[in-house]
Amino acid sequence: MEENHTFDNYFGTYPGANGIAGAVKQPSDLAGPRLVQPFVISEPVISQDMDHSWASAHAAYDGGKMDEFVTAARTTLTMGVFRPVSA
pLDDT digits (tens, 9 = 90+) for 3-61: 556 666 677 777 777 766 666 777 888 887 788 888 888 777 777 777 888 898 888 88
- Residue 5's pLDDT is 62
- Residue 57's pLDDT is 84
CA 80 to chain centre: 5
- Residue 1's pLDDT is 44
- Residue 75's pLDDT is 86
Dist CA 50 CA 65 (whole Å): 20
Closest CA to 8 of 87, 79, 63, 86: 79
pLDDT digits (tens, 9 = 90+) for 61-79: 888 887 888 888 888 888 8
- Residue 27's pLDDT is 83
Count the neighbouring beta carbons within 10 Å of the beta carbon of residue 47: 5
Q: Are strands 80-81 and 39-40 parallel, antiparallel or unpaired?
A: parallel
The conformation of residue 9, written as its DSSP 8-state character, comes to H
- Residue 6's pLDDT is 66
